[in-house]
Structures are given as structure tokens and as C-alpha cells.
Amino acid sequence: MNKRLISSLVIGSVASIGVMAQSMAKETKNTQNVDDPYIWLEDVGGEKALEWVEKQNDKSLSYLKSKPLYKELYEKNLEVYNSDERIPYVGQMGDYFYNFWRDDENPRGLWRRTTLEEYKKESPKWEIILNLDELAEKEGENWVYKGSNCLYPTYNRCLINLSRGGADATVVREFDIESKSFVKDGFQLPEAKSNLSWIDKDTVYVGTDFGDGSMTDSGYPRVTKLWKRGEPLEIAQTIFEGNKTDVSVGAYVSHDGDEKYKIVYQGLDFYSREYYLVTDKGLVKLDRPIDSSISGIIKGQLLLELKSDWTIGDKTYKQASLLSIDIDDFVAGKKNFTEVLVPDAHTSIAGVSSTKDHVLITTLKDVSSELYRYTFKDGKWTNEKVDMPELGTLSVTGTSDEHNNFFINYQNFLTPSSLYYFDDAKDSASVLKSLPAFFDASPYKVEQKFAKAEDGTQIPYFLVMAKDTELNGKNPTLLYGYGGFEVSLRPSYSATIGIDWLEQGGVYALANIRGGGEYGPAWHQAALKKNRHIAFTDFITVAEDLIERKITDNKHLGIRGGSNGGLLVGTVATMRPDLYEAVVCQVPLLDMKRFNQLLAGASWMGEYGNPDNEDEWNYIKSYSPYHNVHKDVDYPKIFFTTSTRDDRVHPAHARKMVAKMMEQGHDLLYYENTEGGHGGAANNEQSAKLNALIYTYLVDQLMD
């Protein structure tokens, strides 16, 4: 099992916003003596701030909903999101396959399960375990399901995470699967950014807000305790304490057959961790590069993925390699590693998971997926490629350590997702379920292009467009990007892009710029901290390449990004406002002077740097959108979106940027959903609405 821990409608009640606002206020720091006239918009649930939000929402929604296209797109989107023909993806626990499902009758969702025999049928029979709509109505809360952690290997007890309105902070409650009810006086935690992990039925590791000083500057647990059933949380035994400047501290149990390994982790920054093995003699630090990742333990072999070169004696293990070592040897201090996989310049490791006897490694080769099955025997690793369609995206799901069968999802821009079932006995994969085509893909084609950056690096990007597209420089084109945190943007099927954009006559482009993980750690690290500008210039390079190839021009080019991608498009819009006619900036970071003071922002200093350090602020301020927007510059009409319930990237980033630009006289649009968390939407209806708003705006801006 891979233990890698790494990233509407007004339904929410005033009470829940108040609870959330109190929680978020504790994570918003140092507002005194800040030279910022819009600092008051950081008060998430403040009356003045919410009045301002309502005013901006009314203005933008009135404008966008007045367009005939909005209603058409909204209705089509909602039909897609609520379609019964969607694939019900599952995870296996014991003999059952579990799924979380939302539709028009169950907007908050059903947690349910079925057997493999039933799941293989076109219309499986599902056993409802928990109805979130009924729970929300009964308790008067706008609950959003945020996942569960179930007791291995029986899976009869689960720790369920419930979020108010989609925030990262959750309420945790113990749930009994067989009785389908919450356990009276069971393990439970009030709303916080917590982590709980089972040790056995009556013992868990817990990290949560224990009171003053128990959380890191990033707003995550600093202390991990061992909590026994029935005892007050206050007397739980402290296992490990990290530093306030750490990102987070936690503990979990990794299972390898009958063996159980208890591991404590200390997140020093976003990319550096210490790991400790819990032994009878205390904690034993695992001696490895702090930027390496533990990818699991199988057959006694600990898997270690390197983010940088590692020299041991006269041997250098290359960056991006996946290594293995007998865990007992490793704990004893030996370094006799075996190289499982050493990617080449065109390849990166996209995912590592395991079955009973095999390690499954998904790779990206020039941003297209390949899947390999690795086996450890007689001290050596052998591998075979799993035969799957090419030039698309593969993802492994539904693995189990009880057998060697698993699911593989395949998709590309024009091919709806197909779920394959790999049967170990047959040694092959076959299609089990397929998503229907929500739009006619036959008129379109996909091409991969490369744009040459100033330093000579070839930046790949994908184009999805009509086969008869004329290279006249006037095609409405939407360019999407992210470029951060080693996140890879891969070919994927999107019904909303097909219906809302391609069918309207648009061209879609996906940029694989540096800062992402498309070519492994080096691709990511090229745009870290003082080199952040490389991500921005790569994106601009792709935009200019689209224009040079006469796909589009600056009057028909729009860009879109969210979160770190919101920072990306916000930055390039201020750097090169002449290059774009439309900008969709979602749940963004924009005030890079205060990002580390807002919510989880301190955890991202490993990516951007520390703005409180003068040397680092000197390069951060050169691109911080909030500090580089000016009254006398013509900007495109930007559409900003965020969520009141986003407790990861503070909504004040978007709020303050909008307020400043409005005062400077710039025309723009702003929409803040009161639910949705960092995803921007908490249910299917909200997702349908948000996308309809965005594409109505894009069509209005880019299509003559």
C-alpha cells in the first residue's frame, strides 16, 4: 500500500460560516501595522467583508447570467455531473468495493459498497453505508464528505471526516460499518485540521488542535499522541513533538502482509521530511535524504524515491530513481540499496502502488502514461509492461494486499474514461466500465507541440481543436496551466471542456511548464523560489508559440488556472497584459507578501521562499500580482473566483486583488461561493454553475 503523504448556491448556514471564520481567524496572523488598505477583507466571516462579497457576486452573476449561453451550459453541465452513466470508481476494503456517489437526488452524496461480482454488472446493487444528505438534514449542517480511514484488515470501523461546506478542516467521528452508525463514545474530534490513524481497534495515533502551541505555523498538527479508547484526549501519551516552523507532524501504520510498521513523520517544509520507525526501544530515525519519499513497504523491501542525487561511498544514486532495501537492514544502518527504476530524460515516475506481490509503477514518457509491474524475487527486481492503450493517462486504483488484481483507468482528451480490470490469473486487463461520450469527439484532433524557451528548453503542450481549424490567428483559444509543486498536467477527458468550449468553437491548450512534475524532480526544481520566474516565462513562451503558429492572437487568447495556477495566471496577466483578452483566476494566491501569514501559506515557503526574509522578498515582490498591478496599465477583464470556505488558500487573496483593481478603475468580474472549500464547489450543482459562469465569460470575451 502506497503511504506517500504529500497536494453555487448559498446553502451554507450563517452559523457554519461563523464556526469556520473563528477557526480561520486563528490561522491569519500579524495583521497589525500592515500597510495594506484592504487588510479588512482578510476577516473571512466579517460583516463588512461579506457585504462586500455579496455586492460583487450580485454584479458579476447579474452580468453573466444575463447571457443566453449561461443557462444552456448550466443545464448541460448539470446533466453530465448527475449522469447515472458516470463510472462509480471504487476502492477495495476486504471483500467489498466502496464508492462515494453524488447525483441530483443525493447532492451531498452516498457512501456505499458492493461486491466484485455485482460491480462487474452494468447496474450493480449497492448497499448504502452512509447517506450524507440525511445526516446533514438531521444535524442541520452543510456536511461535505472528506473521506474515511478504516481499520485494517477487518475494515469494520472507520474514522470519517466531515467538512462544513468543503473546508479542509474536518470533524472526525468513528463509524461502525456493520451497524451503519456512528460509535457512541467512540473516537471523535471537533473541527480542526487533524490526522488520525489506526494502530488497532482500541488505539489510534492522533494529531489535532490540542490547544495553544499545538499547531504549526502552517495550521497543521505539531504534536502526535497515542490515544486509547475511552481515555480523555487530554491524557493521551505524546509520541513526538515537532517545531512550530514545521509544516506538519503525524504518524501512521504501514502494513506488509502480517508485518506492521509504525512510522512517525515530521514535515520540515513542503518537500523535506524526517521519518522515524517506532520500535520497542523508542524512535529510530531513518537515515535518508530528507527530500526523498517513502513509497511503501512490500515483501520486506522499503521503497525510496529520490528527489536529488544521493552519494553513498563511491556510488551515486541518480535523482528521480526509485530504490529499495530490506527494511531491517536499513534500520540497522546498512545502505545496500537496489535500483528498482532509474528514469531517463524523457521519463518520470507518476505513481507507485502495490498489490500482494507486485509494485505497480506508472510513468510519464513525454507526458503520456505507461504502466509497469515490478516483482522482487531472489534479491532482484524484474518488470513487465502492462499492455494498455497509449498516448493517454493511466491511473491505478482499487489495489489490495490480499491479491494481485487491480483496476486501471485510461483516458485522453477525446476518449472518455475506461476502467480496466487486471486479472492476475489471466495476466491481462480488460474493459469493465466505460464513460459514455458526453460530446461528439469525431470533429476534433489532439496534437502535442513543443515551444522553445529562452534557455533552449523544449516546453511541451497539448492542443485540442477541430480537424478543420484554419491557422488564421483568430481562433478563440483557452490555455490552461499550473506549474508548481511537482504536479503533472496530463491528458484527461473533460465533458465540460468539450461541451462548454470545444463545441462553442474554441481551441483548448494544456501547458506542461517547469515547476510541474512532467519530467521528474528536476523539472519541478527548475522553477523553485528565486527561479520562480521560469514557470511564468515558460507559460508566456507557450502563449507566444500559439500566436506564432497562427492558432490564435492576443485578442482571442484566454488563460485559466487555479490555486498555484491562479498565481500563475495572475502573475502573467500583470507581466504581459497585452498577451491575453481573458483571464480566469481561481482560488488564487496573489498577495505574496502575506501568503505565509494566511492559513496554510507557511507550508508553501519551500516552493516560493519566505517573504519575511528581505533577500527572498526581493525576488518574490518582482512577480507578486497584488504588488504589480497598476492604475495606468490596460489589463484584460479578469474573472476571479474563490470560496468563503477555502481554508487552504485564503479568499482574501482574490478579495484584496479585486478591491485594489476596482479602486484603480479596472473592469473585472468576481464570484465567491460560500461553500466549496479549495475546490470551489461542494456539490454537482455548484460545479455545474461555476463552469457555466466561467465558459460564458470566456465565450463573451474571446468569440466575435
CB contact at 8 A, 516 and 560: no
The residue annotated as part of the active site, out of 563, 603, 624, 643, is 563
The SS3 assignment for 671 reads strand
DSSP label at residue 529: G
Q: In this structure, are residues 674 and 51 in contact, taking their beta carbons and an 8 Å threshold?
A: no
109, 88 contact by CB (below 8 A): no
Neighbours of 428 (CB within 10 A): 12
Active-site residue identified among 358, 650, 666, 678: 678
Q: What share of the chain is helix, strand, coil (3-state, %, to 5)?
A: 25, 35, 40
CB of 680 closer than 8 Å to CB of 565: no
Bridge partners (DSSP) of residue 406 are 422
Cα separations (Å) of 257 from 66, 297, 299, 400, 503?
60, 10, 8, 11, 51
Q: Which residues of 587-612 are buried (b: 16+ CB within 10 A; e: fewer)?
A: bbbbbbbbbbbbbbbbbbbbbbbebe
Sign of torsion over alpha carbons 277, 282, 288, 291: positive
Q: How far, in whole angstroms, is CA 480 from its chain's centroid?
A: 16
Query: Grid coordinates representing 40?
Result: 479588512
DSSP state of 689: H
Q: How far are the Cα atoms of 46, 217, 244, 367, 570 from residue 606, in angstroms, in the given order? A: 31, 13, 15, 25, 20
604 touches 513 (CB < 8 A): no
Cell of 608: 516560493
Residues 6+ apart with CB under 8 A from 144: 108, 132, 162, 163, 164, 165, 166, 675, 677, 682, 683
Alpha-carbon separation of residue 564 from 2, 327, 568 (angstroms):
25, 36, 6
Are the C-beta atoms of 408 and 422 separated by less than 8 Å? yes
Residue 15 DSSP code: H
Q: For the CA atoms of 173, 176, 177, 178, what is the dihedral angle to 10 degrees?
A: -160
Distances (CA, A) of 357 to 300, 373, 400, 482: 11, 10, 10, 36
Query: d(Cα 150, Cα 176) in Å, to the nearest integer?
Result: 10
Is residue 563 annotated as part of the catalytic site, yes or no?
Answer: yes
> Which secondary-structure segment (H or E) carries 163?
strand 157-164
The helix (H) or strand (E) run that includes residue 381 is: strand 380-385
DSSP states of 534-595 as a string? HHHHHHHHHHHHHHHTTS--TTSEEEEEETHHHHHHHHHHHH-GGG-SEEEEES----TTTG
Q: How far is residue 573's CA from residue 564's CA, in Å, rounded to a whole number?
A: 14
Which residues, in sequence order, are CB contacts of 469 under 8 Å at separation 6+? 475, 507, 551
Q: Tell me how far apart the alpha carbons of residues 18 and 361 are, in angstroms, rounded to a whole number.
A: 45
For β-strands 507-511 and 368-377, DSSP reports them as: unpaired
Contact 325, 299 (CB under 8 A): no
Task: Supply the residues annotated as catalytic.
Answer: 563, 678
